[in-house]
Structure 1
Amino acid sequence: MNARLLLPLLFALPCFAAMAQTFPVDDSASQVLESGPLKMRWDSLVPKPGQPSTMTGQVVVLVRLDVAQWRGRRGRIYQRLASVPNGPVTAVWAANGPLLPGRVRDGERALVYSGAIASERIEDTFRLTIQADGNRVLRPQDLNFSFEFEPESP
């Protein structure tokens, strides 16, 4: 293969990875354990020069993912945090398993599971820590988390 033909192929490879098909995962059975708005607290009343004025809150979520349609298949599950107009917002979570702990910024997604889907439902408990720029949070706002499944190629 000559170099002239190889170069366009190398640039095309990342495009194939980005074209992987994803499917929404039903997480409607998930449950936030605290009621009402998330209580956010200032990380520092007087931040040091150059440090952002951030606020942090914590919440526990029982994550219940309906993965029945992919039972017996292999793939990856991602958690997505929708973009927030008053961002940036970061979510960090610890998990008890089988889901992975991780971190995601608004507008991005993070891997929470990779492997075979052996049952109809995947359940875990996330201890979420949400951090936002306190100078940009002017009023309560909804954070929209979702999950998506990306099957492995056969």
Structure 2
Amino acid sequence: MKINPRQILKGIFLALCAIIFALLAMPSLAPAATFRVDDTGTLVSQPVTSMKWRQVVPSRTGDNAVEGQLSVSLRLNLTNWINRPARIYMVLAPTEGEQLIATWRTQGRLLPGSVRGGGRALVFDGVVLEPFLNETIQLNLMADGRLLTRTQQLQFYFEIEVSP
């Protein structure tokens, strides 16, 4: 049996290429780092939002939901993450007693969605290209009116996840 050195080198080369390809295809094992986004430039259209019954006369078997709407002009400072792939989440702090649900529509820079009190929802997935992300969202709030006993403070903020 005659051994051809070219065949051996070709086999080694193909094996190394396969190993490199497999390593590149593997997802990153390093967890993404999460940071709170500076949103001090964000303005809420009205500091107090009145909630109105969805039905004129709520009943035991009917709809007891109350709703409110407001506009929010977001200004997210993303200076530290320019040219990096990132995911941005809207976080709604837990609300007292009732389960508040917030849904929103956007002008297209962020994803529309919804979130319950105590949860978070993805609003951006891509590469950060500018130092500030400006967007106006229409926020709709809904809760069970039977569980609302007093004025509540709505607290939402944004988190960004970036890979190391």
TM-score range, shorter chain: 0.7 to 0.9
Cα displacement (A) at 1:125: 0.5
Aligned-partner residue type, residue 25 of structure 1:
V
Match 1:29 to one of 41, 48, 67? 41
Cα displacement (A) at 1:51: 4.2
* RMSD, aligned CA: 1.8
Cα displacement (A) at 1:50: 4.0
- Residue correspondence of structure 1 range 4-153 to structure 2 within 5 A: 20-34=32-46, 36-47=47-58, 49-151=60-162, 153=163
Runs of 4+ aligned residues of structure 1 deviating over 6 Å after TM superposition are: none
Cα deviation per residue 1:84-137 (whole Å; 9 max; x = unaligned)?
112200000000021111100001000000000001000100000000111111
Aligned-partner residue type, residue 60 of structure 1:
S
Aligned-partner residue type, residue 145 of structure 2:
G
In the alignment of these two chains, the number of paired residues is 136
Cα displacement (A) at 1:52: 4.5
TM-score, normalisation: structure 2 = 0.77
Cα displacement (A) at 1:21: 2.7
Aligned-partner residue type, residue 71 of structure 2:
V
Cα deviation per residue 1:54-106 (whole Å; 9 max; x = unaligned)?
11000000011001001111010000001011220000000002111110000
Cα displacement (A) at 1:140: 0.7
In structure 1, C-alpha distance between the alignment counterparts of 2:142 and 2:131, rounded to whole Å = 33
User: Whose Rg is larger?
Assistant: 2
Unaligned stretches of 5+ residues in structure 1: 1-15
Cα deviation per residue 1:7-58 (whole Å; 9 max; x = unaligned)?
xxxxxxxxx89x6431000111000122x41011001133465445111000
